[in-house]
Amino acid sequence: MDDLERFWDSVFSEDLDRIAEASAPLRPDERASLVAHLRSITVDPDRLRDQRRAASFALTALGQGPRIVLASGSPRRRELIALLGLPVSTTPAAIDEVALPHEEPAALVTRLSREKADVARSNLQPPTSNLQRPTSNVHPPTASRPLILISADTTVSLDGDILGKPADAAEARSMLTRLRGRSHQVLTAVTLVAPNTGPPVADQWITDLASTDVPMRDFSDAEMEAYVATGDPFDKAGSYAIQHAGFNPVSNLSGCYANVVGLPLCHVTRSLRALGVEPPLDVPAACQKHLRYECPVFQQILSESDRRQDQ
């Protein structure tokens, strides 16, 4: 078995170390040819999903998988995005997040996630393309490392009303008083952009929407006051964090926990798959372990992705 045959024999193992070891003896021209061929497989709709997945793993093992740029300063989103197992950097995307008159919650988060992506997209331009110069914490994309930009926006909806981030303690108390003992919806829109490296190829944009019903427990006034005093509600939509161990505001959740935190990873994964990228980690397992939550909906979310890809 020659070196190329040994490499291809390793590809379907989905073992990053084995694939990297098998690629070590290859000449630079052979590696370059393999990278080009593997990339063509990941975006070929006529290929089986297992073939596209294996090609994506192989690119990661070769150090040629995509880099993720997260358009967010949220530490919670940074923690979650790391569970994809892909290289991640961040870039700011400051926008006006005020809802338009009569704007529905789903329309709001969709618009804002795309506006954040557009702002971040304008910050990413290497000299050889129509992207703008990157910020200091973002490495410029190269021909060998494609870039995917991810942005997200999350809001809380109760009876159709949008509950954003509270301006002060009084507004936080008002929101929490409305929410306690009732169910509401948390909506997150995630936008992925695969920027082009020059004309005539257009950017690829995908926006996906996650919605989770969230039952709040009937916490006491004293518990609410103690939580507001921590200052934790002030940068959170709806004035709460589901993961706050001292407050524990939610009971008996049966949907996507990561969505309530601010980044629904299975929705991100299915959007990445639509761009021909398979994360090298088992994302649902990594997410559940990190959040200490047994998710009842991840298979349904990802199977919807599978059906769309097979059409």
Catalytically active residues are: 153
Report how far residue 262's alpha carbon sits from residue 257's, in angstroms, rounded to the nearest whole number.
9
Report how far residue 154's alpha carbon sits from residue 62's, in angstroms, rounded to the nearest whole number.
35
Other beta carbons within 10 Å of 80: 24
Residues 199, 204, 209: CA angle, nearest 5 degrees: 160
Phi and psi for 75 in degrees, rounded to 5? -65, -30
